[in-house]
Amino acid sequence: MTTAAAELEKTADPILQTDFVKEMVKQMRAIDSYGTYDGWPVERILAPYIKTKDQRREIPVIGDPDDETLSRVKAFYNAIAVLIEKECGLMAVPMINITHEGFGRALITVGKLVVMDRTLRDVHRFSFDSLSKMKDEADKVLSVALEIVGKYPDVAGL
């Protein structure tokens, strides 16, 4: 690591070093087929997830959300599934279904156990106030999921 890079790391937001953010970046790179994100800093790669309330309100919720938005939603729940898997050692499978006009359902299953089940609305506007709010949300899902797995290990192991 060069001195400049080390310097940057020291001053950088510690959130960038968390498992969640690292996994999010991995997920985003996985859908970046043309290598557009190569060399981009983490904040820039995850920037589309961060929007102010006003920015969100400006996005029309008419029609179906575009593919980029959908893959961002998927990347978010994929990252959470990976973290669940890391923590409990069992395969966690995400499933996102956007039915119409930005409505849908997001599930994560471990074995025969549903560890997360969310109704999605206004997917067009899928975003968070800040990176730390985004991580909070993921942490919440993660802890609930692990609690359920801990409570019903036999169902999760099926």
The alpha carbon dihedral of 33, 39, 44, 46 has a sign of positive
Q: Is 55 exposed, middle or buried (0-12, 13-18, 19+ CB in 10 A)?
A: exposed
17 binds a copy of itself (CB under 8 A): no
**Residue 86, CA atoms < 13 Å, CB-side half-sphere:** 11
Between residues 23 and 104, which has the closer beta carbon with respect to a copy of itself? 104
Between residues 22 and 151, which has the closer beta carbon with respect to a copy of itself? 151
Residue with tokens 């937001």: 13
Residue 145: both structure tokens together: 């999921």
Q: To 10 degrees, the CA torsion angle through 37, 33, 60, 124?
A: -100
- The least CB distance from residue 106 to a copy of itself, in Å, is 10
- The least CB distance from residue 112 to a copy of itself, in Å, is 4
Between residues 37 and 152, which has the closer beta carbon with respect to a copy of itself? 152
How is residue 115 annotated by DSSP? E
109 binds a copy of itself (CB under 8 A): yes
Hey, is 118 helix, strand or coil? Answer: strand
**Segment holding 6, helix H or strand E:** helix 3-11
Task: Please identify which residue in 9, 58, 117, 147 interacts with a copy of itself, judged by CB under 8 A.
Answer: 117
Residues 136-155 binding a copy of itself (CB under 8 A) are 148, 152, 155
Between residues 16 and 114, which has the closer beta carbon with respect to a copy of itself? 114
Task: Please identify which residue in 53, 89, 95, 129 interacts with a copy of itself, judged by CB under 8 A.
Answer: 95
- For a copy of itself, the binding residues (CB under 8 A) are 95-97, 105, 107, 109, 111-115, 117, 148, 152, 155
